Amino acid sequence: MTFDADDLTHCDSLSGATIGTPALSVPPSLRPARRRSQSRWALFAAGVAAVLAGALGAYAHYLSPDALVPEALHVEGRTVSYTAGFAARAGIRTLEIREAAFAPVISVTGKTSFDSEHVAFVGASTLGTVRRVAKYEGDAVKRGEVLAEIGSPLQARMDAAASLRAREMPRGELGVSQLRSPLDGTVVERRIVTGQSVRGERVAFVVADLDRLSVDLAVEEARARTLRVGDRVELLRNDAAGPAVTASANGRVFQVLASGAAGPRALVRVAVDNRGRTLRSGQAVTARIFAGMAPAIVIPNRALAWIAGRPSVFVENGHNSASASAVTLGECDGEQTEVRLGLASGQRIVSDGVTNLKEASFL
């Protein structure tokens, strides 16, 4: 068999020189990719995959064990069923509702004032001139102590005539009248000065017992019905710098008046023990009234959830199943809240883990 040299091209194994017909030249852009480049891309892809796998593994490793698993819940309307594992992770606990003695705390704002039974307005009924002022603002006074003296020529003539008729020597200086304090207290206001002419001023001094103040509070009539004379009141001074309050004084309810034409509110008057001088008249305060003990359905505040804008609780209706139920709330004592409608004694509710249950169920 014979081969034509034009039909075959081969390479000399010794010299590498081409023998026969010259080979065709192929442009570099059309040449196949080198095996070395393919190997690099494969290594890069493998590296990226390894990094992603490591990141996912780290995320799974550091994920909180308390994370809620949506697949562990079944929601039908307002009823939520959950697994035991979900309950453990979410910290869900239940308790049985019972009627118990409850002392609600009613918080209202008001202003302090002088106790009407321990404040006096001293007038100057004489026509004359102030000869001497004996007491000034802030001075402590005893009952019967002189506050000021007023001289009156007209009064002097009247005193002299009275002495002649009685054929007695006049007592003291003629025409001088003295303004005296009618009670033990402090001068809180003075409206006359030495040398001033007076023409029967109705108020020359205001004397008050600063140990006793009063606060009038407007309380909703329904809430006021739970109050009794003698109920304890804690007064908190409203700081001008912000909403924070500072404990100041204690008091007692001494009068509860029915609502009038102003609206469905009752007037609750509080007597304040201010011997510590922590309050002053005219000061804004927040009063926390501790109403008397009464039986009521109460739940811990942590059991409450707001669903669709209404206060609600999760009522147990089977093993690992609860239904969201709207309730009507009453008063609160800071830790517990009264439930007036929506719950009955003997029912069980979710008391702990309520936030986790609500958020996981998207209610």
How high is the pLDDT of residue 264?
Answer: 78
Mean pLDDT check: name the lowest of 32-36, 219-223, 229-233.
Answer: 32-36
Structure-derived torsion over alpha carbons of residues 81, 87, 92, 97, reported in degrees to the nearest 10 = 50
Mean pLDDT check: name the lowest of 135-139, 203-207, 289-293, 324-328.
Answer: 289-293
Residue 159 in tokens? 């005193």
Q: Are 179 and 146 in contact (CB under 8 A)?
A: yes
Looking at per-residue pLDDT, the higher value among 51 and 126 belongs to: 126
Of 144-148, 195-199, 236-240, where does the model show the most confidence?
144-148
pLDDT surpassing 50 at residue 338: yes
How high is the pLDDT of residue 113?
Answer: 95
pLDDT surpassing 70 at residue 33: no
* Neighbour-count burial for 218-248, b at 16+ CB within 10 Å, e otherwise: ebeeebbebbeeebebbbbbbeeeeeeeeeb
| 3-state SS class at 237 | strand
- Residues 4-30 pLDDT 10s: 444 444 334 333 333 344 444 445 544
> What values do phi and psi take at 85, rounded to 5?
-65, -40
pLDDT surpassing 90 at residue 191: yes
Average pLDDT on 219-247 reads: 78
Average pLDDT on 34-63 reads: 58
Determine the CATH number of domain 211-292.
2.40.30.170
Q: Are 292 and 299 in contact (CB under 8 A)?
A: no
Confidence of residue 223 (pLDDT cuts 50, 70, 90): confident
Looking at per-residue pLDDT, the higher value among 297 and 246 belongs to: 297
Cα 248 to Cα 256: distance, rounded to the nearest angstrom: 23
Determine the CATH number of domain 70-103+295-361.
2.40.420.20
Q: Which residues contact 1 (CB under 8 A, 6 or more apart)?
A: none
> What values do phi and psi take at 73, rounded to 5?
-115, 150
How high is the pLDDT of residue 12?
Answer: 40
How high is the pLDDT of residue 268?
Answer: 94
| Residue extents of the structural domains in the chain | 70-103+295-361, 124-203, 211-292
pLDDT surpassing 90 at residue 199: no
Cα 183 to Cα 145: distance, rounded to the nearest angstrom: 9
Cα 104 to Cα 126: distance, rounded to the nearest angstrom: 54
Average pLDDT on 238-259 reads: 74
Domain 124-203 annotated CATH 3.60.21.10 = no
Confidence of residue 246 (pLDDT cuts 50, 70, 90): low
> What values do phi and psi take at 183, rounded to 5?
-155, 165
pLDDT surpassing 50 at residue 173: yes
How high is the pLDDT of residue 282?
Answer: 92
How high is the pLDDT of residue 8?
Answer: 40
Average pLDDT on 41-61 reads: 60
Cα 250 to Cα 255: distance, rounded to the nearest angstrom: 16
Share of the chain above pLDDT 90, in %: 50
Confidence of residue 186 (pLDDT cuts 50, 70, 90): very high
Looking at per-residue pLDDT, the higher value among 246 and 363 belongs to: 363
Residue 122 in tokens? 């001293």
The sign of the torsion formed by the CA atoms of 176, 178, 179, 182 equals negative
Q: Which residues contact 121 (CB under 8 A, 6 or more apart)?
A: 202, 203, 205, 206
Across the chain, mean pLDDT equals 81
